[in-house]
Amino acid sequence: MVQIESARARSMNDTRSLILDVALEVLGRNPDAGMGDIASAAGVVRRTVYGHFPTRADLVRTLARRAVDEIVAVLTEINASNGEVEAVWVDFVAHLWPLAHRYRVLLALRRGEHGAEIHALLRPVDEILADLVRRGQDIGAFGRHLPAGLLGQMAYAAVFAIADEGRSDQTLDARAATITSLLLLGVPEPRARALVD
């Protein structure tokens, strides 16, 4: 009996993970896609999707939490390296790039009806980035043209924007995202290119 319950729980977790993965793809193509679209793409009935996520907002919230958990894990690991802030940023973008491709839909969703909630969920990411940018500003590595929090958000958002645009323009890659984000941070272009190279 315990084995049957364990197998059933594993199957439910697999279905939930499948729905989330498919939702990222479907919403990545069309941020306004409905639960029926996601169910169809996942090969399940709508009732199955609603069994795991009672509302579209629950699904979006779960996707955002998953993204935040992964991004915070990357940031915490990179930030703990105590390297030069510019090098830490370059490492961050290198590790963020695959996540930016997977979670690029958050850019569109962040501007939509769930924007306030997604902003709130992303607060830990914003705080860690603000701290990193502030450290860079304190030593003159990053510009002071904007407050640290806003500057970090803009440089980080640029990575996601480039990942989103990179679907159709293959020249927009991690290198382009890293250089662009460093430029936004106020790093001179020759230094930004040298850091990436």
pLDDT tens figures, 16-41:
999 999 998 898 888 889 999 999 99
* pLDDT over 60 at 186, yes or no: yes
pLDDT at 85: 93
Contact 176, 193 (CB under 8 A): no
Q: At what angle do helices 2-29 and 56-79 cross, to 10 degrees?
A: 90
* Nearest CA-CA partner of 161 in 176, 142, 183, 149: 176
CB-side neighbour CA atoms (13 Å) of 82 = 0
In this structure, the number of other CB atoms found within 10 A of the CB of residue 189 comes to 10
pLDDT surpassing 80 at residue 111 = no
Q: Between these two residues, 107 and 84, which has the higher pLDDT value?
A: 84
* pLDDT on residue 5: 52
DSSP codes, 47-116: HHHHHH-SSHHHHHHHHHHHHHHHHHHHHHHHHTT---HHHHHHHHHHHHHHHHHHTTHHHHHHTSTTHH
What integer pLDDT is reported at residue 1 of this predicted model? 56
Q: Classify 172 in phi/psi space as left (phi over 0), alpha (psi -120 to 50) or beta.
A: beta
For residue 108, pLDDT beyond 80: no
Angle subtended by helix axes 35-42 and 2-29, to nearest 10: 120
SS3 187: coil
Total Cβ atoms within 10 A of residue 4: 8
Across 65-69, average pLDDT: 88
Instruction: Specify the residue for token string 């323009």.
Output: 169
Predicted model pTM: 0.79
Q: What are the two backbone dihedrals, phi and then psi, of residue 34, each rounded to the nearest 5 degrees?
A: -95, 175
User: What mean pLDDT comes out for the span 73-82?
Assistant: 81
Average pLDDT, the chain: 87
For residue 38, CA distances in Å to 34, 102, 111, 129, 184 come to 7, 16, 21, 33, 36
> What's the CA gap between 81 and 100, in Å, rounded?
22
